Structure 1
Amino acid sequence: MSRAETQGRIQWVTLVAVSLPGLAALGALLFTWMQVGQASKELRISEHGQITSRFNAAVGNLGSQSLDIRLGGIYALQRIMQDSARDHPTVVSVLAAFAQQHAESSTKSLKEPIGGTYDHAPKPDVRAAIATLARRDPHRDAGAVIDLSDTDLRGLRFPGKASIALPGVSLYQADLRWAFLDGADLQKADLHSANLDAAYLEGANLMGARLAGASLSATTLKRANLRGADVTCGGVAVDPETGEVFERLDCVNLEHASLDGADLRGAKMSDTNLSNATLKGADLRGADLARSNLTNADFRGAKLAGVKLEDAKRTGALGLPQ
């Protein structure tokens, strides 16, 4: 063997000897990483199992005869909703179903006379469930729908000053008389045929909300955002008993409503009853008020560029163009 070959072998052996500790360290690092990954996986499985157990226990508590236990179940679900993005949509669906099932039916309440409803309020557990839904992060809903249609929610109010986030909620035919919903996010909510007489919706966001057939007599809507809200009537419906097809005339009643400073740009409000309503300083640019009853309504200071007033009743109305 030549001297050059000998030196080459020596260098190779030296390189291997020097590399062995590094290779050993790399192997140890890979082994540690695999162990950590396995431990993390086992931890996630354990956490999911714990959340499932908590969820089952909380749902079980909702069926208790005890109000305190039901409330405990609601608050346990609230904590799960905060802790687990994966379970958030399921909790939303469960709480919405609970609230709708345990609230009184609006079918009965809407037939009751207006007098005497000021002191009415939903049951404590129903209020707690809706309050939990109203304070969730709606961006985590993943398509979950809050259906509170046909419910008696007269006098509903939320404790404290926390935000009320119920975008897209279905309140079809709900009884919301004297409800306190100031500042509520009700974007694209379905309020079709709901009764909101004397409710408080100051500063509420009702962009794109469906309000056809809703009653908002004496409702406070100061500085509310109703941009693009749909309050049109018309179309056809079918009588469920006779099967007869008839023209719908379920237009919105905003008689005596307070809409000062409200954003009503582009709102579809044809055939609406706005008699004696106040809309001082409201933004009605591009709104459709054709055939509406504007008797004694106050539009002073309102922005009316492009507003449609064809065949509207204007007797005694203030601030409208001649």
Structure 2
Amino acid sequence: MPSTATSALRWTRQHPLIIVLVSAAVCLFGWLLWQGPWLLDRAHLQDTEPGPANVVSGFRTAVVAAGAGIVAGVGLAYTHLTLQNTRENNERQAQLTRDGQITDRYTSAVQHLASDGLIEQLGGVYALERIMRNSEEDHTMVVDVIAAFVRKHAPMSSPDDEAEPQPTEDSEIEPPVQVQVAMTVLGRRPLGRGEPFKTGLGRIDLRGANLGGAYLGNLDLIESHLQGAILIRANLQGTLLYGTEFEDVDLDDADLRGAEGLTVEQVLSARVTSSTKLPPGLDRDPRVLERIAAVEQEREG
């Protein structure tokens, strides 16, 4: 940390005009002490009687007092500026320290994501979530990294892939644990951050995923597989759903107002209820109303 003398020297180099003004003020003050009384009342101060001498002494005392007040004021102003500069420097240093810590945590989290171990991957996802919540400026970057992790571990099967095993009566298709956790983290990301772009999650396999209550707005789920997923109370406003598979998706109390690309056929393949919030037009379609009635009757039975 620089010494007081070094800081003062740096300050004088940065403010030469102030130094000149202070020097001029000191010279003016000395001259005023010397010639001030005669300047104001030269005619009555030619005498050396005690009266005129007392006037000179009193005038000089007043000038000294005024000068002391000015010096004290300048000192207080200088102290204030010094403290303000120190505080700003401390804040900048603290911000640099925080940025460095976030960078270290981010690097460690990404390394965990790249690991082959499930525990390490889960730790990386949760570490990124904490960074996302604590640092608004890193929000978009963290969301993109988690989305890339999901795309890597939940790709949609291509026609050239081997036939996938079909679920039996005692088993259901579910996404890998790390994918479920990553989607859960994406679904509870902080709102109001102003995400500039749709987060790319198109053509991924989320069959059987539990996304109840998740915020899935502003995501790109184009041509993804959501068969059998639970989207109860999920928010899909602004989500891209062109060609997304909705077969047997539970949309009870889900909000799909503003969802883009949603068709009647997709809604008819899902499990919609009267509490499902659909885009204008779809909510009044006779086929959709009939499907809602059938689902609710099935649940009551």
Alignment of 1:122-137 (within 5 A): 122-137=175-190
Render the CA deviation track for 1:130-164: whole Å, top value 9, x for unaligned: 11110011321531432221111111014xx7x41
Larger radius of gyration: 2
Alignment of 1:166-315 (within 5 A): 166-209=216-259, 210-212=261-263, 215-217=266-268, 219-222=270-273, 223-228=275-280, 264=283, 274=288, 277-279=291-293
Render the CA deviation track for 1:250-270: whole Å, top value 9, x for unaligned: xxxxxxxxxxxxxx26xxx6x
* Map of 1:105 onto structure 2: 156
* Map of 2:31 onto structure 1: none
Alignment of 1:141-160 (within 5 A): 141-158=194-211
Deviates more, 1:63-72 or 1:140-149: 140-149
8 Å contact kept, 2:167–2:173: no
CA distance in 1, matches of 2:135, 2:289: 49
Render the CA deviation track for 1:72-107: whole Å, top value 9, x for unaligned: 111110010011111111001111111112103154
CA change 1:213–1:103 in 2 (3 A) is farther
Task: Note the C-alpha offset of 1:14.
Answer: 1.1
RMSD of the TM alignment (CA)?
3.0
8 Å contact kept, 2:272–2:292: no
Select the residue among 26, 38, 43 that pairs with 2:77: 26
CA distance in 2, matches of 1:87, 1:153: 26
Give ranges in structure 2 of 5+ residues lacking alignment.
1-37, 39-44, 46-51, 295-301
TM-score when scaled to structure 2?
0.70
CA distance in 2, matches of 1:199, 1:114: 18
In structure 2, the residue corresponding to 1:139 is in which secondary structure?
A: coil
CA distance in 2, matches of 1:273, 1:63: 47
CA distance in 2, matches of 1:200, 1:279: 15
Number of equivalences: 240
8 Å contact kept, 1:96–1:146: yes
Give ranges in structure 1 of 5+ residues lacking alignment.
232-263, 281-322
Question: Does residue 1:10 correspond to 2:61, yes or no?
Answer: yes
CA distance in 1, matches of 2:289, 2:138: 48
Task: Note the C-alpha offset of 1:116.
Answer: 4.3
